[in-house]
Structure 1
Amino acid sequence: MHPTTTNEPPQTLLDLITDVLSLLLLSTITVQSFIGRWQVLRTKLTSLQSSLSSLSESPLWSQNPLLHTLLPSLLSTLQRLLALSRQCSSTSSLPGGKLLFQSDLDIASSSLSNHLHDLDLLLRSGVLHHSNAIILSHPGPGSDKEDLVFFIHDLFTRLQVGGVEFKRKALESLLQILNTDKKSASLVVKEGNIGYLTGLLDFNDQPLIREQAVSAVSILAASNDESRKIIFEEGGLGHLLRILETGSMPLKEKAAIAIEAITGDPDNGWAISAYGGVSVLIEACRCGSQATQTHAVGAIRNVAGVEDIKMALAEEGVVPVIIHLIVSGSSAAQEKAANTIAILASSGGYFRDLIIQEKGLQRLMHLIQDLSSSDTIEHVLRAISSLSVSDSTAQVLSSSTALIIHLGEFIKHGNMTLQKISASLLANLSISDRNKRAIASCMGSLVKLMESPKPVGLQEAGALALVSLLTARWNKKELVRDEKSLMKVVQMLDPKYELIDKKFPVMLVNALLSGRSSGCRKRLLDAGACQHLQKLAEMEVSGAKKALQRLSGISLKSMFSRTWRE
């Protein structure tokens, strides 16, 4: 038997392997013990013979560095099997007894299976047709897709077949390509073995390899839907949650990025609970670094609408943790935390009570004064709006002059979403006349909102907020003094103006004409509102007849009689 050495040239090693394999195949015919196991082994050996034949036909096979470790190891396994086969061919008893021999045979058979897998992987990847150094060279900017595909095949082959050093170099190359070419992620997912890569997340005995694998998975998860889907299907979420729970700070940050990305798919959210991840995410929000907190609360936001997880979040104490992040987190964490609270607040009375018990309402109201991000303000306002369904909460909001003034400013200067939420809040609160007068300057903006058909509900919100503000007598005078706004209201009454439901401008006219309103009546008459209302009354638009009667001074009875005669 030839001694196994890694110093032999590849061709010499292949010749030695071929010789031992031939002897072994003959030996398996004459065994007298464990015949069933040797039959299975003979099938594997025949498969190996075919693979070695394919290997020798690859013109550059001997130059591939992976074979420098694979071939010596394969030769050692075959030599061990040959020795075992000879023991089984002898009529003498087995040394060490049957159990020990059976164990040795199973171990050798398992090693052979691993070698077959690695060899098959090498052959299928196509890398044996190319010559490459141990340190892979990244395809240049002008490289075509074929070069990049080979690079990825070679990289993942080294990752799976090679030892620790090969894995480390391969992961370095993978990170290089992912960091320098964002579009490469889709090709990596398509051509690489993502399941093997996610398995390296638990490669605890090699911290550097594990760290590189976490970095790669994090980048892939954040890159596109296809990557996230495959990482999730390969069980990556469970590995990532364990890293978030027990890993180092840099690893936790990368794991949190990937978890947030994976849970962004609504179909994946349920698995957070299945993997026991609710408490892990909450703890990361409580004690993690700023980056970890930001992405962990993002993941909680993603799953906060899932019914089963929602209750688990409450039971694990998520509300005070999220409220604390709204106040003290980074700007990105604040936005996601505010979004989470808005989602929970809209979920029902149970969560609204929890938020109020944790002084969430006061903190949200105070936070509006300090925020500059319109997205975060939007989430805060949504949360406040959901909380306002409680009578006691509505009273607190209605009496807050600071909040009312901010709502007026959002209506004047905010985006359409902020305008809609602010207008809806104003319409639903019982605001004092003094505070209504304090925000009279936003009425012109509310009239403009009524001209916008999108988003849905914006016109109604603007109209209802205006009707609420017009219960203050001084505000009526202010609106009709604003020539531009008045003409817009009259224009909206015109049946030919089709961008708005006519019930909304009719509501405004009725609000302007309620109570003692001779000045408003005169301004509306001068602006030509009467003729439009006449047509709307004939069209039976809700409230139009009442508005026409108030505006013209004609009683409803005489108006109907005249219409009948005509």
Structure 2
Amino acid sequence: MPPSAAASSSSSSSPPPLEEITHLLPLLLLSCLTVKSFHGRWHHLRPKLLRLSSSLSTISTAPQNPLLHHHLLPSLLLTLRSLTSLSDCHLPSPPPSKLLTQSDLDLLLKSGLLSISNAIVLPQPGPASSKDDLAFFVKDLFARLRIAGPDFKKDSLDRLLELLHQDDKNSVAVSRDGDVACLVHLLDCGNHSLVRERAAEAVAVLSAASESSRRTVFEEGALGPLLRMIESGSPAARERAVAAVEAITSDPENAWAVSAYGGVGALVGACGTGSMPAARAHAAGALANIACFDDARRAMAEEEEGGGGAAAVGALVELLGSGTAAARANAARCLGILASARGTAFRDVILVCGGLRRLLELLREAADPETTEHALRAIHSLSASPRAARTLSSSSPAFLLHVAELVKNGNQGCQRVSASLIGNLSLADETKRAMSGCMPFLVKMLELAQKSVQAQEASARALVSLLSVKANRRDFVRDEKSLSRVVQMLDPKNECGVCKSFPILVVIALTTGGSGGGCRKRLAAAGASQHLQRLVDLDVAGAKKALQRIMGNPIKNIFVRKLERVNHIIT
């Protein structure tokens, strides 16, 4: 109810609201029997007025509740006055706004605030509260949100946020028993700024709590008002709104709608230095959520053109150097997705903006596995650019040794991306020699990556690259465990899930170059020849070449064996 209406209804020149309501109700009950227009509606309205009359009879003994006496009763009085005006109207079609009277009374009665038991503020349900108690509390909160003034709306939203923060399971009750559409309506710019902020926070918590509550928020149309709030709200409101958008767009089924609402520019703007640190982090996360969609990338490209060539990417690269830990991780994730897109446009812009250097710094400084993986994936995506690949191949040994260390001790994602980088880059022999310590881990990756052909290929290519160095081949065959694993993977009877072509590539790499003799002997002694012969019979690609490499030149082998025999006799 507008404050002016409340003031006029409670002014000293007018009787108290309860007194006037008590006077109007008997007149309205009589009108229900005599009115001519919309007789059916009046017939349904009469029981509601009777219930209202019964509830009001207990008000004099009820506790003094500010919501009841300062908001609900004045609002009820305005509704009854409208109803009185409607009962005096004899036109065939009364004014459209009057048709809301019945639903207004429904709301007032259903809220339960007119009964003695609910005339006071309900206690916050505890963790052990029953489902019915929780549902009743939620319905009461939303009744207050629908009919109370700004101050009571803020109080009710605070209690709602307390409930949501108490337990993620409460979000299910709120989305099921509450009125999420009412919550979304509070995001509109016509509401008090503090009400909008708290409503945005509640929407953000709901969206992050569960898939079902997130879907409810999206289906009730929250995304549009939230994006508008990001563009025009207060700094605090923008932070809460962009957090909600990040949570909503975490589901791909929702993320596509941001570009449909024209909200990409708002998110790009929220990444800038004018926003609060937390808002920048959430905005980068939301951009990462939508970056896989062509429409969103096109919108970002348009932002590029409108921002001097580097609006979106420039803001993300800036975050890599000056944002919070969460902002840096989200910016790296988004840049990695953009760099992996078809075409070279985003990769070129990222490189021009200094993104590769910032990503290398982030990789070096990252304190958690998730940030490390995001930075590494972005670097890997950029390595598709020849310019970036040259820079990475000739970069400081510290970076490349870090990559080798991630093969050994990183999480599964970091191991795969690191292996892929080793296989893709043109590294110097000295660098490969320094990275040789990760070879046993690459063999283990190859053996365990049963369900991922991409991971098998990455580890095999990395091994082939490192085994191009003679000293690395010598070390590899001396490692009986690694050699045995490769040979076992060749066995046709071993259904380990590893594509046979990958261990074959490793065998070919081991038997290349000047150290081939010693490697061939060790491979043959480990049983590789027998397995390869069976693979040749099965017509597996590469098996014949690998077998020939192990067996060597037959004539040369006879000569070598005779020479060894002579040397043995002489000694």
Alpha-carbon distance in 2 for matches of 1:368, 1:442: 19
1:226 pairs, out of 201, 208, 212, with: 212
Matched, 1:195 2:189: no
**1:527 corresponds to:** 526
Q: Helix, strand or coil: the match of 2:253?
A: coil
**2:325 corresponds to:** 331
Alpha-carbon distance in 2 for matches of 1:393, 1:140: 57
Q: Deviations over 1:297-353 (max 9, x none)?
A: 111111111111111112212111111112221111111111101110111212112
Of the structure 1 ranges 248-257 and 389-398, higher mean CA displacement relative to structure 2 is found in 389-398
Shift of the alpha carbon at 1:283?
Answer: 1.2
Matched, 1:415 2:411: yes
Give the letter for the 1:74 counterpart.
T
Shift of the alpha carbon at 1:125?
Answer: 5.1
1:73 pairs, out of 68, 78, 83, with: 78
**2:288 corresponds to:** 301
Contact 2:314-2:353 within 8 A present in 1 as well: yes
Q: Within 5 Å, give how 1:9-20 maps onto structure 2.
A: 13-14=21-22, 16-20=24-28
Shift of the alpha carbon at 1:375?
Answer: 1.9
Matched, 1:474 2:466: no
Matched, 1:501 2:506: no
**Aligned CA distance change for structure 1 residues 171 and 549 (closer, same or farther; 3 Å):** closer
**1:95 corresponds to:** none
1:380 pairs, out of 358, 363, 375, with: 375
C-alpha RMSD over aligned residues: 3.1
Shift of the alpha carbon at 1:179?
Answer: 2.4
Shift of the alpha carbon at 1:207?
Answer: 3.1
**Aligned CA distance change for structure 1 residues 488 and 8 (closer, same or farther; 3 Å):** closer
Q: Within 5 Å, give how 1:352-367 maps onto structure 2.
A: 352-367=347-362
User: What TM-score, normalized to structure 1?
Assistant: 0.84
Give the letter for the 1:77 counterpart.
S
Contact 2:32-2:43 within 8 A present in 1 as well: no
Q: Helix, strand or coil: the match of 2:365?
A: coil
Alpha-carbon distance in 1 for matches of 2:333, 2:160: 35
Give the letter for the 1:326 counterpart.
L
**2:536 corresponds to:** 537
Please list every run of 5 or more consecutive structure 1 residues that lacks an aligned counterpart in the other structure.
30-38, 89-101, 559-566
**1:22 corresponds to:** 30
Identity %: 44
1:342 pairs, out of 336, 341, 350, with: 336
Matched, 1:511 2:509: yes
Please list every run of 5 or more consecutive structure 2 residues that lacks an aligned counterpart in the other structure.
1-12, 304-310, 558-571
Of the structure 1 ranges 441-450 and 377-386, higher mean CA displacement relative to structure 2 is found in 377-386
Contact 1:21-1:45 within 8 A present in 2 as well: no
Matched, 1:272 2:246: no
Contact 1:294-1:330 within 8 A present in 2 as well: yes
Q: Helix, strand or coil: the match of 1:131?
A: helix
Q: Helix, strand or coil: the match of 2:493?
A: coil
Give the letter for the 1:308 counterpart.
D
Contact 1:260-1:295 within 8 A present in 2 as well: yes
Q: Within 5 Å, give how 1:384-463 maps onto structure 2.
A: 384-402=379-397, 403-454=399-450, 456=452, 457-463=454-460
**Aligned CA distance change for structure 1 residues 273 and 495 (closer, same or farther; 3 Å):** closer
Give the letter for the 1:315 counterpart.
E
Contact 1:5-1:72 within 8 A present in 2 as well: no
Shift of the alpha carbon at 1:439?
Answer: 0.9
Q: Helix, strand or coil: the match of 2:255?
A: coil
User: What TM-score, normalized to structure 2?
Assistant: 0.83
Shift of the alpha carbon at 1:160?
Answer: 1.4
Alpha-carbon distance in 2 for matches of 1:353, 1:146: 58
Q: Within 5 Å, give how 1:115-264 maps onto structure 2.
A: 115-124=101-110, 131-202=117-188, 204=190, 206-264=192-250
Number of matched pairs: 525
Alpha-carbon distance in 2 for matches of 1:178, 1:392: 50
Shift of the alpha carbon at 1:268?
Answer: 2.2
**Aligned CA distance change for structure 1 residues 164 and 45 (closer, same or farther; 3 Å):** farther
**Aligned CA distance change for structure 1 residues 71 and 524 (closer, same or farther; 3 Å):** closer
